[in-house]
Structures are given as structure tokens and as C-alpha cells.
Structure 1
């Protein structure tokens, strides 16, 4: 059956789209600058050194002479995923799901007699996609992801222009788990990264009170995924019933008559099971050059007050990559059974099914991906000579992720069938409706000058979710988040500063059974996107970030 053959491919690509969406919102501005992290990213009116390239290019005019920044940021991902069974749980009358059922092989009933209280599918280690190797690399258990960055800026003597460029990571995140982890059905390994490797930028001082700036960012974008696949669906449950009930009398006594009447579906060594593993998918998409631009303005009418605004453009990409599918035995046997019957062959020919399903297959895939535009504005106000408050509001155009459209390097028969049922499918493409929203967010930061050398900082940034309730999933669990930051700044001398910051982001989610069409929705028409159909899902994500910045003027 061609549709069953395609299911691993479609499912994995869809999950990849969801992962990029969730990661992008969860990880925005977490790995760019140490001082900004401590101030809840409320720095548009008070950008930090060369990182103004990202936060507000106009503030580069605050730099004199030659300056270099070197930063090291490490992040630890603690993602807990919990699955529980609600009352009345079953898929087409079956509830013996080994993921949530304690019954052993000695229990032959289709209904589970002893459900587990809860099942944990926690993330076990960090992962990162390495461009040169063209694959994902796992860190050891408990090992964090590191993101070193650096920048250089120069203000010629007597010039109103300041030139700068920085290497930084607007987004870098990834995680993985060992074989057999229950969370692997929505990503055993996931990696998403955007690395800006060149960002020529200029800030210009128009007057004593007003500065403007702009720059171009040249970035590398990558998405990587490895995922186990299963489809606890009513349709698959019906196929199991046919195999175990209808076909049982004919397993050892089939003849031409039964083959014709039953389409050869009983001539299989392994039947379909809604709780069985259907295969595994590996996928990687990348774009080596993804340009974007930043524009900023900084207005400082008084010493104790300033206003800043920045516009970060969208980055539109044509990402390309490869996929590899490892098919399980059950779908292969299903097609083999159809091909053993004259009527099964006729049905397969009418529907355009393949003659066989291989053990593995690979090919090319591409997609148009847009890193969304962002606008942020804020103020800096000194309520006391030693106490400063920053406040920012921002908006990111996640509405651009209304749908993701994936294009394959060949026509696929299953899509020819599916296009009759959905306007989002053509012969060689599949569109995933996400219906993201574009919420506003805010952040606040406080900086206290304890001495002429020592500054103490704290910040808070609540992050509203852009993912609708009906699209939440466990790939990167998020339903709103809170970012807390703290840090210190110490000036060794007139030309040397050191910043140390720590940030903590927390996001908890509860997805009741049948609440999300990308996680746990049951029904005949939800074959592909619901590996935890009918189960309650809870997630708890904690990200801890530690950063150190060494800034020197020459």
C-alpha cells in the first residue's frame, strides 16, 4: 500500500516542521549576548557593545576606537515528557499498547488489564547538526551545548560612523535519546540551528541625541531529525482486527477462493498493529547562505533616558536536503499480501499502489522556509543615579508559518491519492497547516551600579506562545514560557569589562487526550500526525544558560 509506504516520510517531515517552529520561539535570543540575557533581552534602548549588531545597530555609535568581544555561552536542556492513560482508552477496541500497558506475553487479551501509572520519555542528551559531517552529533548525557561567539567594531578617530561584524547564534538547540525511549516517536534526535557567520554593520551618529544603524547578516540554517514512527489509528486497528479475527481461520488453509475474496490480506507473516513501530526516518535540510538585515534607531534626549527601536527582517530560504526511510516488516507484508491475490493486484493497480515496499529508501526533499521578521522597541530610564530600568516590547511574525510545504524530487502515488481528500496535497508536495499566531511579548531588566566597577543585573521575560492549542506537541514542548536572568558586570580597567550571566527558562504544558492534531488526536482521519493518540501528555522543559563575555578596547 503506497500510502503506508509513504507514512514514515510524511510523518517525519511534518514533525521536522513542527520542531523548527517550536524551537524558534523557545530559543530566540537565548544564545546571542550575555548581558542581554541577564536583562530579560530588554536592551533595545541600551544595547550591549558589539552585540548591538543584532539588538540595535544604531547603538554601535557608543563604541570608541577598536573593540573586540569574546563570549562563551553554554545551555543545558532538561525536557521531561510524561504519558498517562485516560479512562476508556482504546484504539478500535484495542488497548494493549506496550508503551503504557504492564501486561506480559502471558496475557492474550486485547484489552489491557494493568496500565502503568505514568510513562516517562525524558530527553537524555543534547544533539547538534554538524555541517561538515552532514549529520547530527550527540553530546554525552548531561553535557550542555556550547555556543562561542565573537565580534569586532571600529570607530575611526573623529568619524561619526562605527563599523562592526559579529559571529553569533540567534538560535541553536538540539536534543536526543537512546533507542526505546517512549518520546522517540516525535523525535529521537532533533537539531535546529541558525548561525550568523558574517554581519557587516554600520552605526552613524546623526546628532548628539540621535543615531541610526543598519547591517546585513549572512547565516547558516539547518534542521536535522531522526524519529521512530508509529500510527495508533482506528484504520490500523481495523486492519489488525481483520488479521487476527477474519484471517485466523485461513492462515494455514488459504486457497484461490479466499485469496480472491480477502484480497490476499491474510497471506502475511506479520499483521498491522496500531501500537507497532512502522519504521524510522532520518532527515536533514540546510541552507548555507541565508541573508537578512537589521535596521535600528537610538534616541537619547537626556542622560537618564533613551529610546530604541530595531527591525530584523525575515529571511526567506529554499532549504534542501535528503531523507532516508527504514520500513518495518508489517507494511512490507501488507503489500506482499495484496500482490499474492488477483483481486489484490487489481485493487493495487486501480489505486496506484506499489508492487513492493523496500527495506529502506532515500531521496531528496526541499522546502521554502521563512525565518520570521521581528520588531522590538524599548526604553532605558535611570530612576536613580545608580539604578536603571529597561523595558521592551516586541513582536515576531510567526503568522508567516501558516503552513509548511514540502516538495519531493519525484511524483508519489500516495500523494496522488491524498490530493483527492485534501487541498494541501499535490502529486509531489505536501502542505502542513500550522495556523501560528503572532503575539506581542515584553521584557524588563534592572541594572544597579553597586560601585564604579561593579554592576548587578536582573531580568524577566514572559514569552507568549504562538502555537495554537490544537497544534501542540512533544517535539519541543512549549505553551508559553518564562525567562529569568541574573548577572554581574565588572570593569577591570578603562578598557576591559567582564560580564557573567545566568538565565533560566521554564515551559510547562498539559495536552489532554484528543486535544492536539499533532500529538494525540484519535479518529480515522488522523493517521499520520498522532503517535500518542488517545493518551494524556504532559511536558516540563527547563533550559539553563550560563554565559561569560570578555570585552576589550584597544
Structure 2
């Protein structure tokens, strides 16, 4: 019981940590450059114009004179979630969860007699966090996310130096759903974005074969989350049993002796139920300036072969923001009932329970977050006079997110209680072990020169998840993923190029009951975040991206 009052706060932070880490994989490199999407992001040895600032700044030496690059990217997120009750589903003997059970609420039995089929909790619209408004904004059902980008480069006549800067989004994604959606217990609205608004870059052509380059990215980072909360575990199931089987005979007939023997827990207007909504919360944190840098090398010994390598540094950030938590009525009634009894007050004092649970909690919070470093290398090779293949291999340091540490600007009563239960908690901090891994990934792209003006491209990039199997969850429903791309480039005239591209990312995941302690594990130990305890979970994510790029040499 000691942990019950702490649940909303800790669950909020677990949701925050989970959403940030998985979103990084979902949105990474999907909104930087549309040509790269069509090549499976295998462009380290063949950097795409001014977007070489991100993929390999050494490639800027291929840009002569003054050039501009403007592009628009439109992304649609189709995210489906299914929840179902397997054979033997129950929480402390109860199975009448309205999420998966059709029984009437006035059914006296706690056992479900009519289970629903798979329940859908699909994402319903796109949602992004807007820094100037300091809130998430919904795009509306069917309206996609739009991500414009652009840049400029300059190579003085006869100089081996090229200068450039660009505005782009290395990572941006967000979605939401309406009230009452079954998926809202792990993120009704989630948004994460990293926007590079200034990227001064320089590249130097050492000789006809070798170039080097560097760029500094000045970025804005934000993470925001709104979610409903519930806690179906054995402990709350036991409290429901006490309320219905023991307390019921004393409703309206309590006296000094019943209060003394039952610690006042029967003096409540609403009992605990493992399947009830226990509140909600909103969290938003941001950092206005988050610097990082990219270093690149490009070697092209002949027209048929090239090698490139880039190091994209990590970025250590200090995110700051606010949290707001709405505590459910049943837990407030439980504490109120205990403190209405002399024996309950004594028990609360011995156990360190708070005197009351407020209806809402709010305050300031912060955390140290490291944007993961990335290294990638690749080759390009013309296997036929008109057909070029690109192959890249890369590694991302997601192990930097092995744990998150949240700090608060004041002592929080719930944390003072929780520190008795965990070494990861102090009066003003919570450390959340997440155990993420650093995966290797690869991509391949093909480019066919159909004519002197027209080029056709296609690419494939399988994305390996950094999330251990025991941590998978439907908040950001993605595990391993596949990215497909195809497009065309047309030279309008000798100084103008137009690219049209389409990308498609898909990911399907199956999380059987009791396999993830951040989604559906049953038992007394799932104290914090298992809103779908005992359920089977399936997800199907599809992201469709369409982009248009306009490049001009002046």
C-alpha cells in the first residue's frame, strides 16, 4: 500500500522515459532529406546536396558557387493497437475489466462471462509540441505532419572551402487520440522533436580525391506527454476484495470497534479497483539550445567508387519543464478513510503514509538527457554505367539511455515515502533503469540514370530496435522496423533540380501477456507501469512520407 500514492508520479516519468527513447528510433532521419529516404539513408559516400551537413559534411565540397535547397516533407502516422484477454486472464481473481469484458457494470460477479474480441486502441491524429505556445497541438484526424526544411551553401570561385547552413529536423514525431480510447493508458498524446535551426558548416577539398568537413548543429529539443493512468495488479485486487467482501456488511453501520479493527479503510465513498482509471498526468520538458557537431570524410578515387564516413556527436542536455498530475478519487478516499480511524492513523504513521493525497500535484522538473552519438560509414559503386549501388553501416549509442534521472525543485512527500522502498529514489529525485542497447543497422540504395535529366532511386533500411524484449510497450508501438523508399530526380535545367520521393516505414510487434514489465506483467511486483497487465498486445505501425525538393544553383 505504501507505493499506491506514488504510482501516478512514477508512472508519469516511466511513460516519459519510454516515449523519449522509442520515439528517437521512430522519427530518426525520417524528416531530414527526402532523397536520402529513397536510398535507405545509405548516402554517407554520396551526400545529398546541402543535407550533407547532416549525413556527411565533407560532401559539401561537391557544391559549387551559391546554391539553395528547399524541401517539404509530409508524413502520415497510421498506428494500430490491439488488446485482448488470453485464456485464464485475471487480476487477483477478477476478470471483469471493462476494457475487454462486455458484462454489465451491475453484474455482481467479478468474473467476466463475455469477453470482447481484440479491442482496438488506434492512434487517431497527429500531435506536436509547439515551443512558442508551450503545449501540444492536435492536427486533427486525417491531417498529416508537415516538416519544411531548407539550406544554403557557398563555394567562392577557385576556393577549396565551401560554407553552408540549413534548417532541418533530425527527429520529429507525434500522435494523439480522443478521450476514452483504450490505448490512452500508455500515452493519449506523445510528442518528441529535435529541430536544428542553425548549422554553420565548412568543408575543405584536400585534393581531387579527398575532402573533409565539419558542422555545428544548434538545436531545439522537446519531449511532451499526456496519458491516463491505471494500475491493475494483485495488491489493488486484494484491496477490492477487502472492500467488497469484508467492508460491505459495515456500510453505514460503522462504529468505533469496526473502525479500530479495520483501520478505517471501510469508511470510503469509493473502493479501489484494479481496472479503474486512477488519474492522469501531463509532462513537458524542453531545451532551447542543444549544440552538437558532425565530422565527415569523403574519398572518391575515381568516378565509379567512393567511400564516406561520418561521426555525429552526442548532445548532453538539461531539459526543464513542468508536470501536472490528477490523482484519482479512490486513492484519496483510501487515505482519507484510514486517517478517519485512530488505528488507521497509527498504521499510517508507522508505515509512513501521507496524511492526505491531494487531488492534483504540479511543479517544476528537470533531467539530464544525452542525445545519442552516431557513427556511419558507406560506399557507393557503379556496378553498371547507369546503375549505382550505395551500402551503409551505422551504430547508434542508445545505451546512453540505460537510465533516466528526474529531478524536482522541491521535496515531494511521495518521494520521501518511496525512498524507503528503492535505492533509485531520494527526496527530490527518481532514477529509472531502462536497460536500452546500442544496435548496428545497415541500409542499401540503388540509383539508375534513365536519361541525362532523369534519375530513379529506391532503397531499403531495416531498423533494429534498441529496446530489450522485456521492456516493449505500446506507447510508441515500434520494435524492429523496415524502411522502404523510392523516388525520382529531374534536372529541370542546368541549374535546377527537382526531387519527388515516397518513403514507407512499417513495424509490427506482438507482446504476449506477462512478457514486459513496462506493459502487461501481472503479479504484486508490477507496482508502477503495467496498465494492460495480463493482456496480449499487438501493434502495427505504418508511416508514409511524401516529399518534394527544389535545388537551385545561382
TM-score (norm 2): 0.99
Q: Deviations over 1:221-243 (max 9, x none)?
A: 00111000000010000111111
What pairs up with 1:216-365 in 2 under 5 angstroms?
A: 216-365=216-365
Partner of 1:461: 461
What's the offset of the Cα at 1:352? Answer: 3.0
Partner of 1:134: 134
What's the offset of the Cα at 1:106? Answer: 4.2
Pair 395,65 (structure 1): closer, same or farther in 2 beyond 3 Å: same
CA distance in 2, matches of 1:423, 1:210: 53
CA distance in 2, matches of 1:106, 1:292: 58
Pair 407,44 (structure 1): closer, same or farther in 2 beyond 3 Å: same
Whether the aligned pair in 2 keeps the contact of 1:352 and 1:413 (CA below 8 Å) is no
Instruction: Give 3-state SS (helix, strand or coil) of 1:51's partner.
Output: helix
Whether the aligned pair in 1 keeps the contact of 2:458 and 2:486 (CA below 8 Å) is yes
Q: Deviations over 1:115-172 (max 9, x none)?
A: 0011000000000000011000001101110100010000011111100000000010
Instruction: Give 3-state SS (helix, strand or coil) of 2:265's partner.
Output: coil
- Is residue 2:144 matched to residue 1:144? yes
CA distance in 2, matches of 1:147, 1:77: 14
CA distance in 2, matches of 1:461, 1:151: 26
Whether the aligned pair in 2 keeps the contact of 1:283 and 1:321 (CA below 8 Å) is yes
Partner of 1:58: 58
What's the offset of the Cα at 1:5? Answer: 3.1
CA distance in 2, matches of 1:145, 1:5: 38
What pairs up with 1:112-131 in 2 under 5 angstroms?
A: 112-131=112-131
Q: Deviations over 1:277-329 (max 9, x none)?
A: 00010110101110000000000111110000000000110101101111221
Partner of 1:21: 21
TM-score (norm 1): 0.99
What's the offset of the Cα at 1:2? Answer: 6.8
CA distance in 1, matches of 2:425, 2:72: 45
Whether the aligned pair in 1 keeps the contact of 2:228 and 2:280 (CA below 8 Å) is yes
Whether the aligned pair in 2 keeps the contact of 1:2 and 1:413 (CA below 8 Å) is no
Whether the aligned pair in 1 keeps the contact of 2:44 and 2:309 (CA below 8 Å) is yes
Partner of 2:105: 105
Instruction: Give 3-state SS (helix, strand or coil) of 1:132's partner.
Output: coil
Ranges in structure 1 where 5+ consecutive residues have no aligned partner = none
CA distance in 1, matches of 2:344, 2:412: 20
Instruction: Give 3-state SS (helix, strand or coil) of 1:426's partner.
Output: coil
Whether the aligned pair in 1 keeps the contact of 2:3 and 2:527 (CA below 8 Å) is no
Which deviates more, 401-410 or 43-52? 401-410
Partner of 2:497: 497
CA distance in 2, matches of 1:66, 1:105: 70
What's the offset of the Cα at 1:107? Answer: 2.0
CA distance in 2, matches of 1:22, 1:235: 29
What's the offset of the Cα at 1:422? Answer: 2.4
Partner of 1:372: 372
CA distance in 2, matches of 1:172, 1:513: 31
CA distance in 2, matches of 1:106, 1:213: 70
Q: Deviations over 1:56-113 (max 9, x none)?
A: 0000000000000001001100000000111111101100000000001342211000
- Is residue 2:145 matched to residue 1:154? no
What pairs up with 1:396-411 in 2 under 5 angstroms?
A: 396-411=396-411
Instruction: Give 3-state SS (helix, strand or coil) of 1:550's partner.
Output: strand
Partner of 1:535: 535
